Amino acid sequence: MSLLFGQLGLVLVLLLLLAIYGDAVMAEDRTGVAADDPEMIATINNARMTVKQFFDAFMNPKKGQTSFLLKVAFVSGDQTEHIWLADLDFSGPKPRGVVANEPQIKGVRFKQTVDFDPAHVTDWMYVDNGRLVGGYTTRLLRERMPPDERKQLDARVPYRF
């Protein structure tokens, strides 16, 4: 019971921090998205405004809901990269996750467990019975792809958009 309360309390703190500091992180990342890209800024803001939906499902997943990930901005020098984290853990003093994609930024490796700053969350996602929920930045980047690249992405991912 105390672990659940501790996780729930941390989730509430995360939501509060996102509301207060959420606009602080936006810089060009390895996808070549500019820091001032208005569509991406709006997409990240939308993800942040709806992150409660993620935490509601994460804390009490329904049958068929899997693959809970948060996208977090990591900064190294003048580089920022938005990285998906899986295997999320909110039981300790800092939230943690496992790097779920191959990062380009120095100091972060694929499958590495990392602490993260909740104010740097820029997106969220989970899969509900094979369908992507959230993944706002992924959807935007997908929309911007040429049709042949989009088709390749759709064939590669384990969910439907």
Q: Which of 9-18, 24-33, 86-95, 115-124 has the lowest mean pLDDT?
A: 9-18
CA distance 143 to 103: 22
Closest to 70 (Cα-Cα) out of 124, 118, 16: 124
Domain spans of the chain, in order of start: 2-156
Q: Taken in order 125, 96, 48, 108, is the CA torsion positive or negative? A: negative
pLDDT tens, position by position, 48-73: 999 999 999 999 999 999 999 999 99
pTM: 0.81
Percent of the chain beyond pLDDT 70?
80
**Local confidence band at 158 (pLDDT 50, 70, 90 cut-offs):** very high
What is the secondary structure of the chain as a DSSP string?
A: -HHHHHHHHHHHHHHHHHHHHGGG-----TT---TT-HHHHHHHHHHHHTHHHHHHHHHSPPTTEEEEEEEEEEEETTEEEEEEEEEEE-SSSS-EEEE-S---STT--TT-EEE--GGGEEEEEEEETTEEEE-HHHHHHHHTS-HHHHHHHHHHSSSB-
Q: Taken in order 50, 55, 57, 58, is the CA torsion positive or negative? A: positive
Average of per-residue pLDDT values in the chain: 85
pLDDT tens, position by position, 93-122: 999 999 999 999 989 999 999 999 999 999
